[in-house]
Structure 1
Amino acid sequence: MSVSKLDEEEFESGELDRDDVFEMLSNQRRRWVLHYLKREEKERVDLRTLVDSVSSWEYETPADELPWKKRKRVYTSLRQSHLPRLDETGVIEYDRNRGEVALTDEARKLQLYLEYVPEDDIPWSHCYLGLSGVGAVITALAWVPVYPIGELSAVALGTLLTAMFGASAIVHTYYLRRNRIGHEGPPKR
């Protein structure tokens, strides 16, 4: 995609249209590039190192065990298509002559778009709504004195409800970190 497809004012201001962001992030290799750059502590990354990591994730095989043709395929698509696209949007700086790539501050804005509800997951709002319903039922059973809930003291009831929401919050935090760009390990597909 060329710069002409982007609205000139949006491009010059560094603000991308939501559709452009989704189009840019729709490609798995681009997301892997951003993931790798985000978790690296170096300011600039060598293209060959980046290709090795992306190839390894894509083929689920260590880079040194991959055939040359598979790594070449990834190298060519990154060099000719994906890195220039990310560079033109201002998310990375790609020095084609030196074969170096660096993440820019604009990449932080993409984090919001990458923290999504995976296809095989339920929205957390539904989980918390369900927990609230269970909490309301437990509270009603304690108020009506139905055994065994009616036998609980106010402290025990409060502890039970707090534990439910606390456990849910811990699991929620774990899933958010796992879906975050730049987390440890290979990114989720």
Structure 2
Amino acid sequence: MATLEGETDSSDEVPGSSRGEIFDLLSNHRRRYAIHYCKREEGPVTLGELAEHVAAWELDKDVSEITSTERKRVYTSLQQTHLPTLERAGMVEFDDRTIELTDAAAELEVYLDVVPGDSIPWGVYYLGLSALGFVVLAGIALEIVPTATVPPLAWAAIVLVLFAASAVVHVLSSRRMRLGEIERPP
């Protein structure tokens, strides 16, 4: 597998693509929207349907409100630029009228950790939760945290429950924010 300088091969990557190529592929919102729509439809879609939905998402309109000019602009861009790019990358099969995702497109989820603008990244959240766990542990060791009313094992259980609940919320949130899982692409 070809890799960019400084990158290593990984079995998690899309076959035949480097991490940089995947990020470049996903850097364009029209390509992400195309993948999102195709995942939602779970089968071949027509270029016209795809163009309508991508235009509606871009312009924050209902599909029924899209003008023929708006649709045509997106249609042309998808047909001439974005779908051939996705096809060369092995993500779609495109025959000028229909588009279908390949199995390689399923591997893209690894690269799409969507973090809404009003939240903190999960890595930072877990770092804070770990710091809380260490503070509790240090408090128990220094006898600052009351162990007469709450035994040390209960404190450990409280921290473990916080991690478990956080992990459940994280998994559910990540599934909801995947391409193809919700009505409007993230």
Relative to the length of structure 1, the TM-score reads 0.78
What's the counterpart of residue 93 of structure 2? 93
Distance 1:137 1:159 in 2: 15
Distance 1:147 1:41 in 2: 54
Distance 1:22 1:132 in 2: 30
What's the counterpart of residue 135 of structure 1? 133
Tell me which moved more, 83-92 or 138-147: 138-147
Per the TM alignment, residue 120 of structure 1 is displaced from its structure 2 partner at its CA by 6.3
Query: Number of residues paired by the alignment?
Result: 172
1:20 aligns with 2:21: yes
Per the TM alignment, residue 122 of structure 1 is displaced from its structure 2 partner at its CA by 4.0
What's the counterpart of residue 173 of structure 2? 175
> Structure 2: which 5+ residue stretches go unaligned?
1-14
Tell me which moved more, 72-81 or 161-170: 161-170
1:165 aligns with 2:170: no
Per the TM alignment, residue 23 of structure 1 is displaced from its structure 2 partner at its CA by 2.1
* Secondary structure, counterpart of 1:166 in structure 2: helix
1:126-150, Cα deviation, whole Å (9 max, x unpaired): 3222212211212332344436565
Distance 2:135 2:99 in 1: 55
Tell me, yes or no, if the aligned pair for 1:177 and 1:183 is still in contact at 8 Å: yes
Tell me, yes or no, if the aligned pair for 2:52 and 2:66 is still in contact at 8 Å: no
Tell me which moved more, 56-65 or 132-141: 132-141
Tell me, yes or no, if the aligned pair for 2:136 and 2:145 is still in contact at 8 Å: no
Per the TM alignment, residue 53 of structure 1 is displaced from its structure 2 partner at its CA by 1.5
Name the one with the larger helix percent: 1
Distance 1:94 1:154 in 2: 61
> Structure 1: which 5+ residue stretches go unaligned?
1-13
Tell me, yes or no, if the aligned pair for 2:55 and 2:71 is still in contact at 8 Å: yes
What's the counterpart of residue 84 of structure 1? 84
What's the counterpart of residue 73 of structure 2? 73
Distance 1:62 1:126 in 2: 36
Kindly, what percent of the aligned residue pairs are identical? Answer: 41
Tell me, yes or no, if the aligned pair for 1:142 and 1:150 is still in contact at 8 Å: no
